[in-house]
Amino acid sequence: MAQMLQAPIEGYEDAIVVSPINANNFELKKTLINLVKSNQFTGRQDSHNHLRFFNKKSNETFNEAWERFKDLLRQCPRHGFSELHQLDTFYNALNPNNQDALDSAAGGNFLDKIP
């Protein structure tokens, strides 16, 4: 488990791939356009970096941090992070009290319980 968590992070920037559009004629739904417009990331921000350097805010609860992390994952669907890397990133962003609570709920070290 420890070896898997020490995987290098170099090259993750290349993991985000834009899929080719195979259709010559398509329609963009208004709801999709509204979703794009409501996206919190501007051209100056990198949603991939928001994931890579995720930190739990001091004034947010564990559940709020988890929901915010999941929202970031949804906003960057081609992030290229494995499930193990996602859980490791979230766990290590928690404060020691939250890590202890998660370890207790998992019946031991949370990261050791991940298959």
> pLDDT averaged over the chain?
76
Examine residue 78 and state whether it is found in any structural domain, yes or no: yes
Give pLDDT tens digits for 45-76.
566 566 666 777 778 888 888 888 888 888 87
Pick the more confident residue, 50 or 25. Answer: 25
Closest-CA residue to 5 (of 74, 96, 86): 86
Examine residue 30 and state whether it is found in any structural domain, yes or no: no
Examine residue 68 and state whether it is found in any structural domain, yes or no: yes
How many separate domains does the chain show?
Answer: 1
Distances (CA, A) of 50 to 15, 75, 76: 15, 10, 10
User: Following CA atoms 96, 101, 106, 111 in sequence, which dihedral angle do they give, to the nearest 10 degrees?
Assistant: -10
Give pLDDT tens digits for 70-99.
888 888 777 788 888 888 888 888 888 999
Examine residue 104 and state whether it is found in any structural domain, yes or no: yes
- Asked if pLDDT for residue 100 goes beyond 90, the answer is yes
Which domain does 87 fall in, by range? 45-115
Percent of the chain with pLDDT strictly greater than 70: 68
Examine residue 57 and state whether it is found in any structural domain, yes or no: yes
Mean pLDDT calculated for residue range 18-34: 75
Examine residue 32 and state whether it is found in any structural domain, yes or no: no
Examine residue 67 and state whether it is found in any structural domain, yes or no: yes
